[in-house]
Structure 1
């Protein structure tokens, strides 16, 4: 194990903050046998610790340690099944809502900013998480060229932050759809008194048209088998001359599954799309007006969420287990490492059906 970690300049039981402290030798077998899944499960079980989890995982990713392990037969089987089967069918669409987004609004209220934005913030001129999230919402509204009286569709509306901001600041009517009951209830209350409708609905059941469409952090749950369908729904729902903004985590390579640990414990059935996969799905349907990458901002966003979570966890720890606390810390810090190492990106795309006037990119 140490020979492998030497590639990443990580020592077992070393003195540096990114060195691994092993408490139980079972951790070695779990990591070597199951890769990232075993490493994460060993951490959740308290078999090892690290003072700076994000730095350690960043070093592992940059050294490409997983590629130095022998190919696991189980991994090949999982890749094959993801290629063959559709794991994001309508019957399974609500699974991620129940497993991830419905685990308690009290947790998210403490971890997120007051807008309850659970996607990458925009830190170009911001100093706080709330400022950065408001800057992201404003950037999206500018990119969409919102005007009073327009009707905006928010696919995957979360807790209603985008819907509320657009309705209050741009005078638009909003329809938001989510697959989380907890998010729907919160968003309905959060947007009370505004021209905002929040539906518990799968995107495939949409059957009306809108002046503008936005989708923030939802495309990661669509799945490669459904990218074409998703784009067709968006195309059908967008009026002529309209704009569609897609905000999504992006992969440097095309794949059919997400990291094993993340899929099992955090985002079931999720897949991070690549440039090729998005382009192929949008081909012949949309004109690409703008493609903006600010992936490094997600590292800073996740670290801010982690700080909020660890600082306030004592207020809600009676509702969760010590294993959950370790799982959630590992989730936030490992994801921060993925963006820091540029292993994954954050993209905002602006799409249209084709328009006469030139589109002006906003930054």
Structure 2
């Protein structure tokens, strides 16, 4: 097995029909590929087996999570260079391990299999989701999905997110800190909702309580926050008590579909709609519409994906589904707007924040890498690697315009009546950079 890297590089270039974008270092210590390029390290032949047996993204991720695949150099550069093989394939570029199944390339494929070894890959890493029960986006299965992602320990989230404890796209100004950018995002939401003293706000998917605290402290709102994560709810209630705001904020472990105590003057849904799912999205819009008072506003902050022809309305990413957000689905922004309008909302403003999320993710990755040993102790080596890859890959996806994030401001406009918005609909940004 001497010089495995050269053999692998030659086979890869034959299968791909072009040069490798990264340098390879194989399990025998050999290296091949473009000099000066970042290095993709295959620490064990098991990584190759995983990628052949499960072509595409999931096989690569399993090898990464297991520690059999690693990177030397800039992780973002590696992901950017490999994006054409993993994410942005077309008919002429099927990807290395999918190409290995092309009958026209049978000889190269057999050589690749011999290089990987004759035995099947090991079982998927323990961090991969298993044992999902019930139909997708039933109440029971949604609770399981939320628990998988959020109930991994509040200390870990503190390490990654920083003091703001906001797990969604920040709103940046040049030279600002993560905490300042997250505060500005919360305030942007509050101003778009036109929160005032005594207004009732429903914060759907309230997380660790940051939006609820900001709305109550800065605007005098009375807030109900709902989440399916018990760990989040416990953490949020502690923060609220420490700030003396228990008379203004209630945190519930509750499905948004079970909220029945409307009407509310405003609803914020920040990074929650991605969990709703294709089969439930119209129901989601209908429920929120029904919970608002006439003239009430909804701020829906949601990740979207680029539309693609001949594709299902909602897309599930194999890596995200198996390791990060089980059952999470992304839709093009046009479908979100249509669902809101079909429910009766008047959509008055849409703001795209794609570049802001890339900046946010890079700060989260920096937080994780700066305290890596503690992160591993708090969760596991595999889960820490999941988070590093997921956040870095997501940053690259936002930067390459594969995905975006948008704030929809929608109004339950009375009929007949007016929306109540100012004539200049971006009044909430006046006086800011």
Partner of 1:75: none
**Residue 328 (structure 2) pairs with residue 273 (structure 1):** no
Partner of 1:223: 277
Q: Residue 27 of structure 1: which of 22, 35, 47 is its match?
A: 47
**Residue 371 (structure 2) pairs with residue 312 (structure 1):** yes
Q: How many residues align?
A: 351
Rounded to whole Å, the distance in 2 between the matches of 1:158 and 1:25 is 41
Question: SS in structure 2 opposite 1:177?
Answer: strand
Q: CA deviation at 1:145?
A: 1.0
Rounded to whole Å, the distance in 2 between the matches of 1:65 and 1:118 is 27
Q: In 2 relative to 1, CA 166–235 (structure 1 residues): closer, same or farther, beyond 3 Å? A: same
Q: Residue 68 of structure 2: which of 29, 33, 47 is its match?
A: 47
Q: Residue 264 of structure 1: which of 284, 306, 322 is its match?
A: 322
Partner of 1:82: none
Please, what TM-score do these two structures have when normalized by structure 1? 0.90
Partner of 1:296: 355
CA RMSD of aligned residues (A): 2.2
Rounded to whole Å, the distance in 2 between the matches of 1:322 and 1:358 is 49
The answer on whether the counterparts of 2:203 and 2:224 sit within 8 Å (CA) in structure 1 is yes
Partner of 2:22: 10
The answer on whether the counterparts of 2:274 and 2:328 sit within 8 Å (CA) in structure 1 is yes
| Offset from partner CA, 1:218-257 (integer Å, 9 cap, x none) | 0000001000000001100111111100011111125434
Please, what TM-score do these two structures have when normalized by structure 2? 0.76
Which deviates more, 234-243 or 6-15? 6-15
Question: SS in structure 1 opposite 2:55?
Answer: helix
Unaligned runs of 5+ in 2: 1-11, 26-32, 102-133
Which deviates more, 206-215 or 89-98? 89-98
The answer on whether the counterparts of 1:244 and 1:351 sit within 8 Å (CA) in structure 2 is yes
The answer on whether the counterparts of 1:126 and 1:135 sit within 8 Å (CA) in structure 2 is no
The answer on whether the counterparts of 2:357 and 2:395 sit within 8 Å (CA) in structure 1 is yes
Q: CA deviation at 1:304?
A: 0.7
Question: SS in structure 2 opposite 1:121?
Answer: coil
Question: SS in structure 1 opposite 2:408?
Answer: strand
Rounded to whole Å, the distance in 1 between the matches of 2:156 and 2:270 is 20
Partner of 1:201: 254
Rounded to whole Å, the distance in 2 between the matches of 1:10 and 1:106 is 36
| Offset from partner CA, 1:118-159 (integer Å, 9 cap, x none) | 111111345211011011111111111111110100000000
| Offset from partner CA, 1:297-351 (integer Å, 9 cap, x none) | 1111111111111212323533333222222211121111111111100111100
User: Quick one: higher RCO (CA 8 Å, sep 6+), 1 or 2?
Assistant: 1
The answer on whether the counterparts of 2:368 and 2:375 sit within 8 Å (CA) in structure 1 is no
**Residue 389 (structure 2) pairs with residue 330 (structure 1):** yes
Q: In 2 relative to 1, CA 5–136 (structure 1 residues): closer, same or farther, beyond 3 Å? A: farther
